[in-house]
Structure 1
């Protein structure tokens, strides 16, 4: 009876005449500490597509072309990358609809493997994965702006820091500002990519400019595995959907629709833009190119085209950075909500509907990584090496979590179940395991630094409770 009384008192008050009257539920009273469902389906799609379709599509086609050797195989691996990503998205759709939570992967890993492993993931995301991704994307913009407006030896790092600071402040202003900025940037990016596709298909290259481009002789033996590493890296980022599942206005069940539409749109964009590169340049020139987008615009539109592609690449990187900042802070919020030592990160601002403290700390760490990249004199490559192995390790762990949660919580209602279980998640886990191996085998000392920071998180957990 005492427990029953507590429940009644939590939801009622007693009036002067002794009758119980309803009051606000606990969740509403604590509204300032919890996220509200304000994100629309179109917002979620633009966030996911904006994260994935970044500047990488203008950097990786040449590597993929060099390791495939034929136009047919070149396009086929991009299609295969979309298929593998769709399989992974179906796995995430089951987790996101069954366990919707602002913590995303963090929440899934906690339910599957416990607090220690979840803490390690949140630590990695705060110090390596998300902040490293923000820094490397900012360096893409910084490298371009430093070519146009050099302001000294560290101009690239300075521009990168300004980008991170500005976008973090915009997201601090609230969810409406963050998603509004994302839709604006995505619109500019989409127009830019559409321009590249139209130019590649419908404007004939100048024979003189085309003949000036380097051509490489391709070996008949192709390295499909290495090509897929770069293709799947270019597709990376769609898993961020898990971090906004609890804030989806239409309900977490719509995450299936959001993920499938996003992956199909991304695959279509990648196939069209690579087909445009093939149509204008040919496989041999793509493989020999160091900047395939610049080469395409130079042989079709001349130097004005080179300036245009620079703006397009900057827009693509800005779109990805803004979306990464938006979703990254959600994990930091979950970390503060569950661990007292990080309690300040678990504060949710009801006025802006954003985790302000989590955004501030995330921005500060990203700025510190930008400084670190500036000291190495190769910021972008350093950040890739730093983040890749840790990212794929936890991606694999999330795939395994699907199997664990099926076994641990069989009675939980699953609004969506991944089709062809267990084959589908096994394919996803196999892909992640291969990319984890590749990221350790092909990266430099930066990968070891990332692993060392991860181990530092383990030490921190056992030292400070």
Structure 2
């Protein structure tokens, strides 16, 4: 082998030992736990309002689920062919080279995963405050940042106790989440049977410009379905990954689609289309109508549990991408250190928690926003218009979405490229209707990338700049590795 070729190979750090402790059921719970966060409690009124009719709204939810399933089938083939820890990191490295894989791992480490954890932690904090206020406790202003950071600290601590503790926490939170969603469904049926809602068979929603917003409704739906791909990050710890990863992706995404359709039906049956369109919190209104003040507390508790389930799932899967980054690149070798006694990457979990908490304080406090603005004041004082974003949830979502869809698009394309580059690769699962399925998925990612950039504008730099710092880091790491 030529010297230059050997130098370009990634430096592998020994000591990362993966015990296969995740069953098919555990993996499905991770998918459901991450995907069903808070969107189903907030977005239905926006989706139906922009769709133009009830029928069109349900078509959009169904189409979003089918597009998610197309992506899941693509990931199922990639994960079954390359069942290694890191998911997209491995797929991108194998397709485009180590540099692309590094940028994905670095983006996950420094921006995407901490940003998603921060998003869910702010949702938990907001509803925790609402729950406590409804219970008679007065929570001082500014506590949302503290509660958001506390939720991350507690779940990081549980995962530091080992994969068994982390996965059982995930299973319990997902079960509680499903019970909560069942309560919403039952409440909708109860109100509908009592005749308190309007008829659900109302063909047209009064919105004269609805045809102009079909794409926006699809953006909301695809955001609600986001996160299912994270199951590929833990492929090395799944029992029989060649079989169970595809099964988990298909079962998880299919189950989520059914749950979303049932919950939307419950909203419409219990509230009626007019009241649903006017409500920014349909789940809270539905349970409030059914059970009074207790219903308001119940929905706050359900959303808190749902948020915690999403945070825990992101912690489990994201830390495994960090491990792969540490295995292949010298500068991050500490992230690959694996504690075999508890079967967990302790340094990876701790660093992930620290970055998430820093991000929570940066976007959620005036001091933090001032620190972010400081470098831009030399160019243009109001480059990031904070007044457009309500809180840390909006800010982190908008800043990280373009990165997320960029790497999603590259991963979808990698399936097509690997079919040509490595036709001899064993593929226990092959995506049906190839190449239509991956092309459909890639077009979806391309549209979502455009939509997220159009909305983010200047705030996209908040996610992009840290990622670009990874370019000199990669070249420095390569030279150090040699």
Q: Answer whether TM exceeds 0.5 for this pair.
A: yes
Q: Aligned runs of 1:93-172 on 2, under 5 Å?
A: 93-147=76-130, 148=133, 149=137, 151-172=139-160
What is the number of residues matched between the two proteins? 430
**Alignment match, 1:22:** none
Please, which runs of 5 or more residues in structure 2 have no aligned partner? 1-13, 199-204, 370-389
**Cα distance, 1:150 vs structure 2:** 5.1
User: RMSD between aligned alpha carbons?
Assistant: 1.8
3-state SS of paired residue (2:429): coil
**TM-score, length of structure 2 as denominator length:** 0.86
| Deviation of the 1:413 alpha carbon | 1.1
For the residue of structure 1 that corresponds to 2:300, the secondary structure is helix
Output the CA distance in 1 between the equivalents of 2:192 and 2:169: 35
Aligned to 1:221: 210
2:162 is the alignment partner of 1:174: yes
The DSSP-based 3-state class of the residue aligned with 1:67 is helix
Contact 2:267 2:282 in 1 (8 A): yes
Partner of 2:428: 415
Unaligned runs of 5+ in 1: 1-29, 211-215
Query: Measured at CA, do residues 220 and 440 of structure 1 come closer, stay the same or move farther in structure 2, by a change above 3 Å?
Result: closer
Deviation of the 1:144 alpha carbon: 1.5
Q: Is contact 2:228–2:253 with CA below 8 Å preserved after alignment? A: yes
**1:12-161 equivalent positions in 2, closer than 5 A:** 32-147=15-130, 148=133, 149=137, 151-161=139-149
Residue 474 of structure 2 aligns with which residue?
461
Are 1:192 and 2:180 an aligned pair? yes
CA contact (8 A) 2:27 2:248 kept: yes
Structure 1 residue 225 displacement after superposition: 1.2
Structure 1 residues 209 and 95: CA distance shift in structure 2, 3 A: closer
Q: Structure 1 residues 143, 150: CA separation in 2 closer, same or farther (over 3 Å shift)? A: farther
**Cα deviations by residue, 1:238-272 (Å, 9 ceiling, x for unpaired):** 10121122211233322111111111110000000
Provide the C-alpha distance between the structure 2 equivalents of 1:458 and 1:107, rounded to a whole number of angstroms: 18
Q: 2:397 aligns with which of 381, 384, 400?
A: 384
Matched residue SS, 2:210: coil
How far apart are 1:348 and its partner, in Å? 1.3
* DSSP-derived class of the 2:51 partner: coil
- 2 CA distance for matches of 1:464 and 1:152? 46
Equivalent residue for 1:427?
440
In the other structure, the counterpart of 2:406 is 393
Of 288, 291, 304, 1:314 maps to 304
| Residue 302 (structure 1) aligned with residue 292 (structure 2) | yes
Q: Find the counterpart in structure 1 of residue 328 from structure 2.
A: 338
Q: Which secondary structure state, in structure 1, belongs to the residue aligned with residue 469 of structure 2?
A: helix
Query: For 2:138 and 2:124, how far apart are their aligned partners in 1?
Result: 13
The equivalences for 1:269-288 within 5 A come to 269-288=259-278
- Tell me by how many angstroms 1:443 deviates: 2.6
- C-alpha distance in 2, partners of 1:134/1:221? 33
Query: Which has the larger Rg?
Result: 1
Hey, what's the Cα distance between the residues in 2 that align with 1:273 and 1:448? 36
Q: Would you say 1:329 and 2:319 are equivalent positions?
A: yes
Change (3 A) 1:150 1:132: farther
| Whole-angstrom distance in 1 between the partners of 2:260 and 2:403 | 26
User: d(CA) in 2 for partners of 1:423 and 1:386?
Assistant: 31
* Equivalent in the alignment of 2:377: none
